[in-house]
């Protein structure tokens, strides 16, 4: 199981100390939401901020690109210190090349799917990815309500993973709290992104521990680390 606090809910006025809070929290990944004001109706931050934060921690930087033109951004985020970059399947025919490009930059590869998009659209790309990010809110903003209708997608992805040859993390993002994380864990998710429920809390370490306990209670210990008894590369810090 991997817990990935989203910096989107951190205090932007003191990012260095927010990273220190993350470091002390026991969370495995730091989720970095990049919004371009076009793919989603909001702006967040860019590679300059990521590069500034990179020397402060060895944690795994999970960069979620909600951007219309990742082509121009991939080398910048690779240079800034991303460990994994996730692009959206909604970008259509450019996806295969983008995934190849991320891999060729030496990074882990993620593919995200929005709530209204059919899960079948990601299936051709499963051989190319390390992480399938199933959005459980419409992207663009933190603090939204979890969309329950996304749960069958997690179950379907879990079935693909257990019955097929491709090994990938199933990451959930949006409206994740102790209750919804439990539901996602039962459906087969193994990476849990949360902004409001983690950085949004004064005690991040305690919030991470609560979320972890909720997930552990939802699934048997043998499966809590590696879905369905398999061993994906457990990537939790810089290699």
Ligand X SMILES: O=C(CO)[C@H](O)[C@H](O)COP(=O)(O)O
Binding site for Fe ion (CB under 5 A): 33, 64, 173
**What whole-number distance in Å separates Cα of residue 61 and Cα of residue 237?**
8
CB 107 within 8 A of CB 78: yes
Task: Report if residue 114 touches ligand X, rule: CB under 6 A.
Answer: no
> Looking at 47, 70, 174, 188, which residue binds ligand X (CB under 6 A)?
174
191 near ligand X, rule: CB under 6 A: no
Helix ranges restricted to H, the chain: 15-23, 47-53, 70-80, 95-104, 151-163, 178-187, 204-218, 221-224
88 near ligand X, rule: CB under 6 A: no
Catalytic pick among 33, 83, 130, 190: 33
Q: Which burial class, exposed, middle or buried, applies to 111 when counting CB atoms under 10 A from its CB (0-12, 13-18, 19+)?
A: buried
**Catalytic choice (62, 83, 173, 190):** 173
DSSP 145: P
Among 98, 113, 176, 211, binds ligand X (CB under 6 A): 176
Among Fe ion, ligand X, none, the one that 194 touches (CB under a kind-dependent 5 to 8 A) is: ligand X
Range in contact with ligand X (rule: CB under 6 A) among 5-13, 52-60, 77-85, 201-209: 5-13
* Contacts of residue 86, Cβ cutoff 8 Å, sequence gap at least 6: 62, 63, 64, 65, 109, 110, 111, 112, 131, 133
Please tell me whether residue 161 binds ligand X under the rule CB under 6 A.
no
- Is 62 annotated as catalytic? no
The annotation status of 38 as a binding-site residue, yes or no, is no
- The answer to whether 137 contacts ligand X (rule: CB under 6 A) is yes
Catalytic residue flag (residue 33): yes
Distances (CA, A) of 196 to 146, 148, 168: 12, 18, 26
Catalytic residues: 33, 173
Task: Name the residues that contact ligand X, by CB under 6 A.
Answer: 6, 8-9, 31, 33, 64, 66, 137, 139-140, 142-144, 173-176, 193-197
């Amino acid at each position: 199981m991997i817990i990935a606090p989203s910096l989107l809910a951190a205090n932007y006025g003191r990012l260095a100390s927010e990273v220190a809070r993350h470091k002390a929290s026991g969370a495995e990944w730091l989720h970095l939401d990049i919004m371009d004001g076009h793919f989603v109706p909001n702006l967040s931050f860019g590679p300059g901020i990521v590069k500034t934060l990179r020397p402060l921690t060895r944690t795994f930087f999970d960069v979620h690109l909600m951007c219309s033109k990742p082509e121009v951004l991939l080398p910048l985020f690779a240079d800034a210190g991303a460990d994994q970059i996730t692009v959206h399947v909604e970008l259509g025919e450019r996806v295969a090349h983008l995934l190849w490009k991320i891999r060729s930059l030496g990074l882990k590869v993620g593919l995200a799917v929005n709530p209204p998009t059919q899960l079948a659209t990601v299936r051709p790309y499963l051989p190319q990815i390390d992480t399938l990010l199933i959005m459980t809110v419409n992207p663009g903003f933190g603090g939204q309500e979890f969309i329950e209708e996304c749960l069958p997608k997690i179950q379907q992805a879990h079935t693909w993973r257990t019955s097929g040859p491709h090994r990938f993390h199933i990451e959930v993002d949006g409206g994740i709290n102790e209750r919804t994380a439990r539901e996602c864990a039962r459906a087969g998710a193994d990476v849990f992104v949360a902004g409001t429920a983690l950085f949004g809390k004064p005690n991040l370490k305690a919030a991470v521990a609560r979320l972890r306990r909720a997930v552990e209670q939802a699934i048997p210990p043998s499966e809590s680390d590696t879905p369905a008894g398999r061993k994906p590369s457990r990537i939790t810090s810089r290699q």
